[in-house]
Amino acid sequence: MNRNKNIAYCSIYLAISILMNYLNSYIPFLKMSNGGSIDISLIPLILCGIHLGFKSSMITTFSYWLITSLLGFNSYYLNIIQYIFDYIIPIHSLSLIPLFVKDKKNQNIIIGITIVFLIRYFSFLISGIFFFIPDGSYAGSFLSILNSFAYNTPYNIVSYFVSVVVVLVILKRFKKWL
């Protein structure tokens, strides 16, 4: 694929993803009360990785993180470690998907999305255990582990299933272009 076409595709995936992130904030049933959401903006970033490969995916996810941070979407900040586990690792993990999806078969796509979402999930889980501690417990305590698990699991599972289904439908529908 020529360089200009690749840049255009990356820009399109990036723009759609940022737009979906913006729209995500206006759909109440997608948002959790204290942060976290069923994140539909991940779908274009996943498609970018499958379609364009690792290098383009890294550039697009980095650009997504940078632009959404500048626009104030990633604004909850306790310290640099929490920010890394809540924002940097989860979004950049999406750029790893091309490493698992070589031949674009459905089972490889599902495996790739699963691995990426497990990385995201454990990053959110670690952040919750050490930085979002319920009253009266300590970082790393059983209560903080239970709280993080109970909070992060539902929306991550739904985001995972929505992403898998939508990505597979889009890839089937646009197979000759992707």
pLDDT reported for residue 12? 96
**Crossing angle for the helix pair 106-131 and 142-173, to the nearest 10 degrees:** 150
Give residues with Cβ within 8 angstroms of 135, minimum separation 6.
Answer: none
Give the pLDDT band of residue 30 (cuts 50, 70, 90): low
Q: Tens of pLDDT along 77-94?
A: 778 888 999 999 999 999
CATH of domain 3-173: 1.10.1760.20
Q: Which of 83, 84, 111, 79 has the alpha carbon at shortest distance from 98? A: 111
Cα(101)–Cα(116) distance, rounded to whole angstroms? 11
**DSSP three-state, residue 140:** coil
**DSSP three-state, residue 37:** strand
Domain layout of the chain by residue ranges: 3-173
| Residue 141 clears pLDDT 90, i.e. is over it | no
